[in-house]
Each structure stands twice: as C-alpha cells, then as structure tokens.
Amino acid sequence: MDADEREVSPEQAFSLLGNDTRIGIIQALWKADEPLSFSDLHDRVEIRDSGQFNYHLNKLVGLFVRQVDGKYELTFAGSQVIGAILSGTYTQRAETERFELDANCPDCGTELTATYEEERVTIRCETCDEDRSTFGLPPGAFEGRDESELQRTFERWLLNVFSLMADGVCLRCSGKTIGSLITESEYFYSNQEVGIEFVCERCGDRASGNLGTYLLRHPAVVAFHYDHGIDLTKATVWELEWLSGDNERLVSEAPLVAECVVTLDGDELTLTVDEELAVHVED
Ligand SMILES: [Zn+2]
Ligand SMILES: [Zn+2]
C-alpha cells in the first residue's frame, strides 16, 4: 500500500468487508496466531475456487491484511474488525434483560436493578424512579459470565470508559477528547447543578457524569476512602452514598468552579474543580 492509498473512506472500508469469504479470511488469520502462506490460508477458508479466493484476499491486502515475507497477517485495522465481530456489537441483537444488582440505592436502600436494552445498560432505582447511570456495552460482555459477575463488569466498564475519556482518549475512535464542566444536561438528576462532560474532537462521541465519578480516581479521594476502610478498586460505586450527586454544587459561574464534598463516617473531604477540570483539595 502506498501513501496515496492510506486514506480510505468509511464507505470503502465497510464495503470491503461485506463478503463472507473476506470475513472468513480475517477470522482464519486471527485464529492462526502466526502469518500464513497463501496455500495455508486458502486451506482454512471455505472457498474452492482459487481465483475467487485470490480476488477476495487481494481486496483485503493493504487496509486489513498485510504481506510479510510472502505470508499474510492481520493489520491493526484487521484485528479491530475481529474485535467488533467478537464483541458482538454489529452481529447480535441482544434481547432486553433485567438484573437485580447486589447493590442498594443510597437514597432509599432499595435494591438497584440493571436493564440491558439495545446495547445499553441502565442502572436504576425503581422506588426513587430514578436512573443512576446509563452507558453502552457490547453484547460480548454477557458471554461466559453469570449474573453475579455482571455487576462488576458493568461497573468496571463504565469507570474505565469514563477514565479513558478523562485521560483524553476516545473509546470509539481514539481521537482526542476535551473535558469541561457543564451546568445543563438531559442526563442530570433533578437538583443537579453541575456535571462533567468529555467530547471527542474527532468523532463527536460524548460521555458525561457527575463530579464524583471524575474524582473517584483522584489520589486524595482514593486515600480518604482507604483511611475509612474502603478499597475503591473493589467497592461498588453505586452504593457510595456521597456519590449520589447531592453533595456537588456550583461555587462560581464566571469562572466556572464546582465543589464536591466527600463524606465518610462524618468526616469530610472537600474538592473543587475548575473549568479546565483541575482539582484542588481544600484544607
Ligand atoms: Zn432509591
Ligand atoms: Zn472519537
């Protein structure tokens, strides 16, 4: 592939994949764990006609498959296609499912439920009639996990996606994300004054959350919990009472500054977050 061919439109890239033989070639190369010669690869893909096989293989070479020393292997884009196939996002229509979670609403104590619908998880308290969080999750997450493992899968996925966006990397396209404080959002709880949003400059994907979710990884917050007997790498975030959003408020509108008070066993830790999302720990 020369430099001129490097830019391929999404339409071209997807149309290249609209064929069973080509998907078969990509899957065979993935399973092989090593580069395959033309004949080895042909043996593993169900197509008798050698000319047809060659035709489809050549369509993939460049973007999804590369040739090294006369053998074939997947490019990074090729392995990304496998990720998409395996995670099931494009191939499975997951049915609506409902799970009881082993976690209680911090406001009323009712057991929280998770609903999985159209590839989105919604964590909800039926008694308060309030959604606590909602986020996309590929159907592959359900394979090989029983119901008791799903809660942690939901939670870690959510926190890691948020964390990746907060670190400036878009989960969807690896583009650069920009974070800011927001004072209005359709996802706000009633009474919520302020939140945080990350937007990808490249694909426009967004992730929003409350201040607390962003602060969960701040060393002062991690240490404060640790000192109160809570290991945040193991805790169920939906059960953290201070994380319900009532403890967050706008301190100033120009410049935008917000405050979050973490309360554990009657002790308080106060943090402020400015427009650039810089965190300051109050004494
Ligand atoms: Zn509740
Ligand atoms: Zn993006």
pLDDT tens digit at each of 283 positions of the chain: 443 445 677 777 778 888 889 999 999 999 998 999 999 999 999 888 889 999 999 999 988 999 999 999 999 888 888 887 777 665 565 567 888 888 888 778 899 999 988 888 999 999 988 888 888 888 888 888 888 888 888 888 888 888 899 999 998 889 999 999 999 887 777 778 899 999 999 888 888 888 999 999 999 999 999 999 999 988 888 888 888 767 899 999 999 999 999 999 999 999 999 999 999 999 7
User: Can you state the angle between helices 20-32 and 50-60, rounded to 10 degrees?
Assistant: 70
Which-ligand-closest: CA of 110?
1
CATH number of the domain enclosing 73: 1.10.10.10
Name residue 182's beta-bridge partners.
195
C-alpha–C-alpha distance, residues 91 and 279, integer Å: 42
In a domain, 113, yes or no: no
Tens digit of pLDDT for each residue in 90-149? 556 556 788 888 888 877 889 999 998 888 899 999 998 888 888 888 888 888 888 888
In a domain, 56, yes or no: yes
In a domain, 62, yes or no: yes
Ligand 2 center from residue 199 Cα (angstroms)? 8
Ligand 2 center from residue 206 Cα (angstroms)? 8
In a domain, 273, yes or no: no
In a domain, 169, yes or no: no
- Alpha-carbon Rg of the chain, whole angstroms? 24
Ligand 2 center from residue 279 Cα (angstroms)? 25
Q: In what order do the strands lie in the sheet with 130-136?
A: 97-104, 111-117, 120-125, 130-136
In a domain, 243, yes or no: no
Which-ligand-closest: CA of 129?
1
Number of domains in the chain: 1
Ligand 1 center from residue 131 Cα (angstroms)? 9
Which-ligand-closest: CA of 107?
1
C-alpha–C-alpha distance, residues 43 and 98, integer Å: 44
Which-ligand-closest: CA of 112?
1
In a domain, 174, yes or no: no
**How many Cα atoms occupy the beta-carbon half-sphere of 146 within 13 Å?**
1
Which-ligand-closest: CA of 132?
1
Q: In what order do the strands lie in the sheet with 248-253?
A: 248-253, 256-264, 267-274, 279-281
In a domain, 233, yes or no: no
Range of the domain at 67: 3-87
Tens digit of pLDDT for each residue in 164-178? 999 999 988 899 999
Ligand 1 center from residue 123 Cα (angstroms)? 11
Which-ligand-closest: CA of 172?
2
